[in-house]
Structure 1
Amino acid sequence: MIDQELRGALAALAEELPARQATAAVERLIANYRGTTPTTTPVLRDRADVVAYAAYRMPATFAAATAALDALAERTPGWTPASHLDVGGGTGAAVWAAEAVWPTPRTTHVLDWAEPALALGRELAARAEAETLRKAHWQRGSLRAAGRTADAAQGAAEGHGAQGGQAAAAARALPGADLVTLSYVLGELTPEDRRTTVEAAVSAARQAVVLVEPGTPDGYLRIIEARDALIAAGLRVLAPCPHSAACPIVPGEDWCHFATRVSRSSLHRRVKGGELAYEDEKFSYVAAVRGDPGEPAHSRVIRKPLLRKGQVILDLCEESGSLARRTITKRDAPRYRAARNTPWGAPWPPPAD
């Protein structure tokens, strides 16, 4: 399986870092992840940073991206992207996730501003069994206002990238793709550059855009901002929302996020001293499409279902654009059984219902 193959490659990489160096790098990355991330320089500065990040965080970002892409695939049966652009792709978690969801031939292009991350991404992909990963193209470039001229010059020299210093030119220079992803990258950008990057992703996307951020209140706000931009550009939201109306959740009171269970790596256990063999990665996401390749769910479970004696309580976002709490009791045996087996983040009712 793709996740086991990725974990094996990451475990081999982690062995090259001395324990003290790995711990220091991971602790600095955790501080950036939980706090205010610098926007003037890449977070991943050198080989030690990148190896520590990949071993410690890549399994979780891979799992979150896989869950988001799975949600898109579920709503677009029969659709398969023939090309994939991963903006801010770093070490390539989203391209591994795309391979896990759609193990079919496609062209893959990864864009990031941190050359050490791209170098490690190439190294990991070169070890993959999937030809799509081995043949992926990794390009250095950025849509940030700072350094945009330098990126444009490098892009021109390589035959890629922006041909000028303006955001619009940078957006036009992104290669078009059926699927465009931005995974755990918007938090590294200034508000201006977030808007530019989302606009660029929309311009490059022929069919679908998927954005993933940490499942924090701030991550949710970045997703909502991007969701509004996708809708304004004419795309339809397919997941997680069952509608393209305004989000009914009130910022500051609550936030929309989901969770996926991830096995902890040996580096994670070594650094954090955790006893559990797993953790839950919380994330927020949005998947939107051009045209009519699929339909959203009737409603989606937006909180962990509450199990009570003889009943299941589901908190739902519904196609009407509103929130609702539904109680399913044993008196409705088939739906009760379905509700007990319905996880947080799943459509409701289940497809088989």
Structure 2
Amino acid sequence: MTAPATPAEHLRAALAALLDGLPPKAATQAVDRLITNYRGRTPTDVPVLRDRSDVVAYAAYRMPATFEAVCAALDALVAAAPDWTPSGHVDVGGGTGAATWAVSATWRGTRPVTVLDWAEPALALGREIAAANPALESAEWRRSRIGAALTLESTDLVTVSYVLGELTGADRASVVDAAAGAARAVVVVEPGTPEGYARVIEARDRLIAAGFRIAAPCPHSAACPIVPGTDWCHFSARVSRSSLHRQVKGGSLAYEDEKFSYVAATRFPVTPAASRVVRRPQIRKGQVLLDLCEPDEALRRETVTKRHGPLYRAARDADWGDAWPPAEDA
């Protein structure tokens, strides 16, 4: 019996259908321009997604990666609050709706969903793609200025993914404050670069100041132990490459790794990870080296050897971003 398609597969199929009829050269040229200019390098008063061709090309190229990164952040939130399910969702700066797809994949069923973005072509395409997802049939796609004038109605969950880099510092603060004032849980996702991490830390600090507690990735709600300018906290999500990905990047691999930084914060009680694996584990002969962020606001390397028995086997299976130790050993 064939397994039912996953939400990620439904999304890829919907995006592939959009590319039918769009000349490959036009798609490649649009993506080349957009990946250079779109995220974090364009003034907010200049629309970068100019028309349907731009939006189709960008969605086909970027939505799968955004979807997987947001799913990873939401999975960490679920691990910290397994009994909580959002009764409503607002996606700020959601564009074509990757985060709404991620939320519907994380918590099955339907709920009120509102996607806010100022680019009408992106909203129109997001609405069109959402027809392939029953959980989003009643979603509202609303044009809204994302910045100081943003107002949000009360909801359970607000996502802000790959948006803050497009805004001025003042507008970033306003958007995070608006999310904090409206939601019981806020998830912010940014590119896994030093700049993206800095924006996440800025958002994290504002959420804590507004009374939120950190659910993930941090094991605590205290200050980040990373000394500014020396390193940055980020994670990786594996993304199946589409033919457009391979065409644009000239690669042959069937996948790529999306690097991202994130924070998930709530107004309700959560159980954060005891520690978090913050680098790719290093597997050596008879031992595994784990770089951990710990609840005492410190970074520490732990060496797990064969003499640790089941814990060693768990360490060999541990991945970048996982909670540590595994739940049964915590």
TM-score with structure 1 setting the length: 0.90
Q: Which residue of 2 aligns with 1:73?
A: 78
Q: Which residue of 1 aligns with 2:249?
A: 272
For 2:292, which of 316, 337, 340 is the aligned residue? Answer: 316
1:284 aligns with 2:287: no
Q: Which residue of 2 aligns with 1:246?
A: 223
Q: Structure 1: state its 5+ residue gaps.
A: 145-166
| Alignment partners' CA distance in 2, 1:338 and 1:39 | 46
Q: Which residue of 1 aligns with 2:326?
A: 350
Partner SS state of residue 202, structure 1: helix
| Alignment partners' CA distance in 1, 2:21 and 2:107 | 32
Q: Which residue of 1 aligns with 2:143?
A: 140
Partner SS state of residue 307, structure 2: coil
One-letter identity of the residue aligned with 1:139: R
One-letter identity of the residue aligned with 1:143: I
Contact 2:117 2:146 in 1 (8 A): no
Distance 1:61 1:20, change over 3 A: same
For 2:179, which of 201, 204, 210 is the aligned residue? Answer: 201
| Alignment partners' CA distance in 1, 2:163 and 2:21 | 26
CA positional deviation for 1:33: 5.0
User: 1:105-152: per-residue Cα shift (whole Å, max 9, x none)?
Assistant: 211011000000000000001122x2x3111011000133xxxxxxxx
User: 1:53-75: per-residue Cα shift (whole Å, max 9, x none)?
Assistant: 11011000000011011110111
| Alignment partners' CA distance in 1, 2:154 and 2:124 | 23
| Alignment partners' CA distance in 2, 1:352 and 1:16 | 51
Q: Which residue of 2 aligns with 1:236?
A: 213
For 1:54, which of 51, 54, 59 is the aligned residue? Answer: 59
Q: Which residue of 1 aligns with 2:310?
A: 334
Q: Which residue of 2 aligns with 1:227?
A: 204
Distance 1:35 1:189, change over 3 A: closer
One-letter identity of the residue aligned with 1:324: R
Q: Which residue of 2 aligns with 1:85?
A: 90
1:122 aligns with 2:104: no
| Alignment partners' CA distance in 2, 1:184 and 1:35 | 9
Contact 2:220 2:297 in 1 (8 A): yes
One-letter identity of the residue aligned with 2:53: A
User: 1:71-96: per-residue Cα shift (whole Å, max 9, x none)?
Assistant: 10111011100100000000000000
One-letter identity of the residue aligned with 1:210: V
1:302 aligns with 2:278: yes
Identity %: 66
Distance 1:35 1:174, change over 3 A: closer
One-letter identity of the residue aligned with 2:293: C
1:257 aligns with 2:234: yes
Contact 1:29 1:53 in 2 (8 A): yes
For 1:8, which of 13, 27, 51 is the aligned residue? Answer: 13
TM-score with structure 2 setting the length: 0.96
One-letter identity of the residue aligned with 1:291: F
| Alignment partners' CA distance in 1, 2:38 and 2:77 | 26
| Alignment partners' CA distance in 2, 1:262 and 1:117 | 22
Contact 2:40 2:165 in 1 (8 A): no
| Alignment partners' CA distance in 2, 1:19 and 1:266 | 10
| Alignment partners' CA distance in 2, 1:49 and 1:330 | 53
Partner SS state of residue 352, structure 1: helix
Contact 1:14 1:267 in 2 (8 A): no
Distance 1:34 1:182, change over 3 A: closer
| Alignment partners' CA distance in 1, 2:193 and 2:165 | 11
Q: Which residue of 2 aligns with 1:38?
A: 43
Distance 1:34 1:119, change over 3 A: closer
| Alignment partners' CA distance in 1, 2:273 and 2:132 | 37
Contact 1:85 1:176 in 2 (8 A): no
Deviates more, 1:12-21 or 1:257-266: 12-21
Partner SS state of residue 335, structure 1: helix
| Alignment partners' CA distance in 2, 1:187 and 1:27 | 19
1:183 aligns with 2:186: no
Contact 1:212 1:284 in 2 (8 A): yes
